[in-house]
């Protein structure tokens, strides 16, 4: 099964013998929900939300597959008031696949597949060193500036949630 079937702007990327990156399909939402829950760091949305995301935002999201198994995902969307900005909502990689560069390759594939975007935004909590490194390396690979500012304070997020720091990267070189 081609991970990028029906998506002319997203070519398959082989990152291992059977590892490919492509657009998600609706049923992939179940695997995305599972990976988010197993990550131990992501705010887990309902299974329904991941199914909808894989249906309605497939053009701005990717999954990584090892053969037929989804082992990673990135969910994203264009900012409605600034469509030239790609917002990355969540990134997750199965624990067994970590350390193989899957997240970075998914991020590159996603950014390259979304036309007419020049900036990338994401939010990261201050204690999430892995995500900070992932997005900092993306900016370095693309020779892009990273601007950081607090988007949502802990007082707004509640329940002991750390603040969400906005990382605005760009302009991004393709």
Q: What is the pLDDT of residues 29-63, one digit of tens each?
A: 999 999 999 998 899 999 999 999 999 999 999 99
Asked whether residue 173 carries a pLDDT value surpassing 90, the answer given is no
Task: Give φ, ψ of 28 to 5 degrees.
Answer: -65, -20
Partners of 64 in the β-ladder? 21, 72
Q: Which two tokens stand for residue 128?
A: 């999430």
- Please answer whether residues 86 and 138 qualify as being in contact, where contact means their C-beta atoms are separated by less than 8 angstroms: no
Instruction: Give the chain's domains with CATH numbers.
Output: 13-169 (3.40.630.30)
- Please answer whether residues 126 and 164 qualify as being in contact, where contact means their C-beta atoms are separated by less than 8 angstroms: no
- Identify the residue with better confidence: 18 or 47: 47
Asked whether residue 137 carries a pLDDT value surpassing 60, the answer given is yes
Q: What is the pTM of this model?
A: 0.89
- Identify the residue with better confidence: 11 or 65: 65
- CA dist 78 and 114 (Å) reads 9
Report the pLDDT value the prediction gives residue 160, as an integer from 0 to 100.
Answer: 87
What is the residue whose two structure tokens read 């892995």?
Answer: 130
- CA dist 136 and 116 (Å) reads 22
- Please answer whether residues 107 and 122 qualify as being in contact, where contact means their C-beta atoms are separated by less than 8 angstroms: no
Report the pLDDT averaged over residues 119-134.
Answer: 96
Report the pLDDT averaged over residues 106-125.
Answer: 97
- Please answer whether residues 67 and 97 qualify as being in contact, where contact means their C-beta atoms are separated by less than 8 angstroms: no
Q: Which two tokens stand for residue 151?
A: 């988007």
Partners of 82 in the β-ladder? 79
Average of per-residue pLDDT values in the chain: 90
- CA dist 69 and 6 (Å) reads 19
- Identify the residue with better confidence: 115 or 159: 115
- Identify the residue with better confidence: 52 or 10: 52
- Please answer whether residues 149 and 124 qualify as being in contact, where contact means their C-beta atoms are separated by less than 8 angstroms: no
Report the pLDDT value the prediction gives residue 17, as an integer from 0 to 100.
Answer: 62
């Amino acid at each position: 099964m081609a991970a990028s079937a029906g998506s002319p702007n997203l070519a398959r990327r082989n990152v291992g013998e059977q590892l490919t990156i492509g657009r998600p399909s609706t049923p992939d939402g179940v695997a995305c929900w599972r990976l988010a829950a197993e990550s131990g760091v992501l705010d887990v949305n309902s299974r329904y939300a991941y199914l909808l995301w894989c249906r309605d935002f497939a053009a701005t999201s990717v999954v990584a597959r090892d053969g037929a198994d989804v082992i990673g995902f990135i969910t994203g969307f264009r900012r409605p008031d600034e469509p030239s900005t790609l917002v990355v909502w969540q990134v997750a990689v199965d624990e067994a696949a970590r350390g193989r560069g899957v997240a970075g390759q998914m991020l590159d594939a996603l950014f390259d597949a979304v036309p007419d975007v020049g900036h990338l935004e994401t939010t990261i909590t201050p204690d999430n060193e892995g995500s900070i490194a992932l997005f900092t390396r993306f900016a370095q690979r693309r020779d892009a500036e990273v601007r950081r500012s607090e988007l949502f304070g802990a007082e707004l997020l509640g329940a002991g949630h750390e603040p969400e720091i906005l990382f605005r990267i760009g302009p991004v070189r393709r």
